[in-house]
Structure 1
Amino acid sequence: MDAKKVISDILAEKKEIKDVYFVACGGSLVDLYGADYFIKAESSTIHSSFYTSKEFVLNPPKQLGEKSLAIVCSHSGNTPETVEAAHMAKDRGAAVITLTHAAGSGCDNDRFIVWVYPWDDDELVLSPMGITLDLMTELVQQQEGFAGYEHVKEGLGKISAIVKAARETVHERTIAFADKYDHASIIYTVGSGANWFQAYGLAICSLMEMQWMHASYIHSGEYFHGPFEVTEKGVVYYQMMSAGKNRPMDERSLKFIKEHTDDYVVVDAVELGLGAISEDVVDYFNPILFYAMSCEYRAALAHNRNHPLETRRYMGKVAY
């Protein structure tokens, strides 16, 4: 599918979009946060909101209606509350784009604009993170104009090569990290900006779900408003150093962590090549890079712990 045509067709019908709602669960919800952040930062005419699917269904926003766009994502395409959310948004008059990896699934329905994406770790620009950034760039450009439009397009063309090189750079580091921390009592993931939900995703999906490790996530800007009190040796920190406007928050938290413990790892977007993307839009590419890095670190942990990433205790095993 083509993002420019999708948005052009929606605007031809709706004339204007006033609200965008990003709706999903778990890892799919993590994938949507960067695009939500983009709209909040770059649009003067569009309001953006970010919902877990069941909350969207149980307590739908009053503004949801004819001038709304709902972007609903389920990798499997059959997450019950996500499919329900898509239908509810459509019933309320919104344009609905569903993103799924699974053709023929519940999200692949003629009621919606369906985007079935491939899943290729070497081409994350084709994943929901890249697709939604492309869609929202088109929406802002077509509805009100966006000075960074060409720079985002250039970034989308560069990010796959940046990710590939970064994977090679961190390979040995991930092995060292896993050797040292594969049985850590807890790992705190720290990040900010568009990358904030990558810290969330690494904690709840990669560590808690896929490795059954205790983990929690901390916003770099909130670190000094409580969490820094537990900084001590033996407590592990995974600090994400973003490129762009929010980097000073990450630098501040990292400085304190380094002063009070030796148990940390730093993953730095600038060192890993994100500086090749134009400074005015680089913030929105942090999530794509950091998702790839999280995959590398969790794979190293899985290898050392002899705990395959697909292993589950409850998910898909028991009723819930």
Structure 2
Amino acid sequence: MLGFNEPEFLSQLSSAVALRPQIEELADRLLDQGFDNLLLVGAGGTYAQMWPYEHWARRVSTLDVRSAIAAELVVSGDASLGERTVAVFTSVSGTTEDSLRAIEYCRSKGAYTIGFTGYPDSPVAKSVDVALVSEPKTWPFDMQLLLFTGRLLARRGEFGGYDKLAAEFAGLPEVLLGVARQAEPVAAAFAEAHKDADYHFLIGGGNLWGFTYLYSMCILEEMQWLRTTRVHSAEFFHGSLELLEEDTSVVIFQGEDETRPLTDRAEAFARRISKDVTVFDTRDYPLDGISPEFRGLLAPLVLDTVLSRVSKHLERVRDHSLDLRRYYRVMDY
């Protein structure tokens, strides 16, 4: 596979799975101590990656769980933030300045802070009350967030499948390696067909809306300097559809939760207008060893694996490094 380090991929994902005992101990302790609300704080991609877990909790739990943009939280505040708040942060590098300021702000309000990162000596790891550290550059954080949120919901009697799901996590690195291998020719074909496209229209919903936002903003825009429109499948018929034309590249992220019919509806309409509609559907991947009832929860992980292959092939055909930036962490702002 192009630009793919298989041992590193397996090792990084395994390091996230290995955090299960620490995550469970932490979740149990926090529940035993009592807290009123859970704040999931991020910046850019890490903010978008929090949305599936806010979405999950909102559907099945009475626990107050919400996501927040780090920089906005600091300047706008949150009336619920206090000594009975648990605030969760993620940062690959452990150096994200917006998150560091938000950690300081949350702690000043008495909140208990948790950080997931890949560097134990990083500023984020040293700033939070407890850091749970995977191998460096481990991405995404969905495994840790699934375990943490799932354990909380299970202890509250709101998710009966936790033990089964957590046990199946042991095989997840190999499962996702299989996804990457299966996605490779699909990714190469998409990149070749779109090497000259300078605009993409992205659609997703449910627990894939966060990934839709992330891939549009953090990958296509930030890393490839491409123009995009991103729209939630439930909002597709309220404005952005007017941008569709016959040659518009429409990219649809389809999962397996209850919002699937909304994305189906958007896809059906998009195909009436555009001759260039691509659907990345988690149903196309077998996920051997994962129970059917958990496939929907794993959709962000699956599509992150699939689209990471697309990203590498776009980098190749466009001769545009994924590491190249003009402004982000280059200029002062």
- TM-score of the aligned structures, taking structure 2 as reference length: 0.88
* Aligned match for 1:39, one of 57, 72, 76: 57
| Deviation (angstroms), 1:155 | 4.7
Summarize the Cα distance change of 1:75–1:146 in structure 2 as closer, same or farther, 3 Å threshold.
Answer: same
**Structure 2 equivalent of residue 178 of structure 1:** 191
Q: Does 1:273 align with 2:291?
A: no
Tell me the equivalent position of 2:39. 21
Q: Do the aligned residues in 2 keep the contact of 1:20 with 1:70 (CA within 8 Å)?
A: yes
Q: Quick one: distance in 2 between partners of 1:119 and 1:111?
A: 18
Match of 1:10 in 2: 30
Residue 122 of structure 2: SS of its match in structure 1?
A: coil
Which amino acid is the alignment partner of residue 28 of structure 1?
T
Output the amino acid matched with 2:64.
H
Aligned to 2:119: 102
Aligned-partner Cα distance in 2 for 1:148–1:201: 28
Distance in 1, matches of 2:237 and 2:168, equals 33
The aligned counterpart of 2:322 is 309
Q: Secondary structure at the match of 1:225?
A: coil
User: Structure 1 residues 172, 207: CA separation in 2 closer, same or farther (over 3 Å shift)?
Assistant: same
Offset at residue 230 of structure 1 (A): 2.2
Whether 1:57 and 2:77 are equivalent positions in the alignment is no
Letter in 2 for 1:102: Y
The CA deviation at 1:134 is 0.3
Q: 1:224 matched to which residue of 2?
A: 237
Q: Deviations over 1:230-272 (max 9, x none)?
A: 2222211111111121111111111122222221211110111
Deviations 1:86-126 (A, max 9, x none): 122122122110122222111122651111222577xx6xx
SS of residue in 2 equivalent to 1:51: strand
- 1:248 aligned to 2:261? yes
Quick one: distance in 2 between partners of 1:157 and 1:32? 22
Q: Which residue of 1 aligns with 2:220?
A: 207
2:135 counterpart residue number: 118
Alpha-carbon deviation of 1:40?
A: 1.3
Residue 274 of structure 1, CA deviation: 5.1
Q: Which stretch of the first structure deviates more once superposed, 159-168 or 262-271?
A: 159-168
Task: Please list every run of 5 or more consecutive structure 2 residues that lacks an aligned counterpart in the other structure.
Answer: 1-18
Cα offset, 1:303, TM superposition: 0.4
Q: Distance in 2 between matches of 1:213 and 1:178?
A: 13
Aligned to 1:198: 211
Q: Is 1:143 the counterpart of 2:161 in the alignment?
A: no
In the alignment, the residues of structure 1 paired with residue 295 and residue 110 of structure 2 have an alpha-carbon distance, to the nearest angstrom, of 34
Match of 1:299 in 2: 312
Amino acid aligned to 1:96: T
| Mapped contact 1:237–1:265 kept (Cα < 8 A) | yes
The 8 Å contact of residues 275 and 282 in structure 1, kept in 2 or not, is answered as no
1:4 maps to amino acid: E
- Please identify, of 278-287 and 28-37, the stretch whose mean Cα deviation from structure 2 is larger: 278-287
Q: Secondary structure at the match of 1:5?
A: helix
Structure 2 contact 87–111 (Cα < 8 Å) conserved: yes
Cα distance in 1 for residues equivalent to 2:327 and 2:127:
33
* Equivalence for 2:271: 258
CA contact 2:187–2:307 (8 Å) conserved in 1: no
CA distance in 1 between partners of 2:242 and 2:128 (Å): 51
**Per the alignment, do residues 111 and 266 of structure 1 end up closer, same or farther by CA in structure 2, a change over 3 Å counting?**
closer
Bigger shift: residues 207-216 or 135-144 = 135-144
SS at match of 2:308: helix
**Partners of 2:130 and 2:228 in 1: CA distance:** 37
**Aligned AA (2:56):** F
Equivalent position SS for 2:297: helix
Question: Deviations 1:285-307 (Å, cap 9, x if unpaired)?
Answer: 11111111221111111100111
1 CA distance for matches of 2:289 and 2:200? 30
TM-score, with normalisation over the residues of structure 1? Answer: 0.91
Distance 1:159 1:276 in 2: 8
Q: Is the 8 A contact 1:243 1:275 kept in 2?
A: no
Partner Cα distance (2:265, 2:243) in 1: 16
Q: Which moved more, 1:193-202 or 1:177-186?
A: 177-186
Distance 1:36 1:145 in 2: 14
Number of residue equivalences: 313
CA contact (8 A) 2:188 2:313 kept: yes
> What is the distance in 1 between the residues matched to 2:277 and 2:310?
13
Provide the identity percentage.
Answer: 22
Q: Deviations over 1:191-220 (max 9, x none)?
A: 111110111011001100000111121111
Please tell me the root mean square deviation across aligned C-alpha atoms, in Å: 2.0
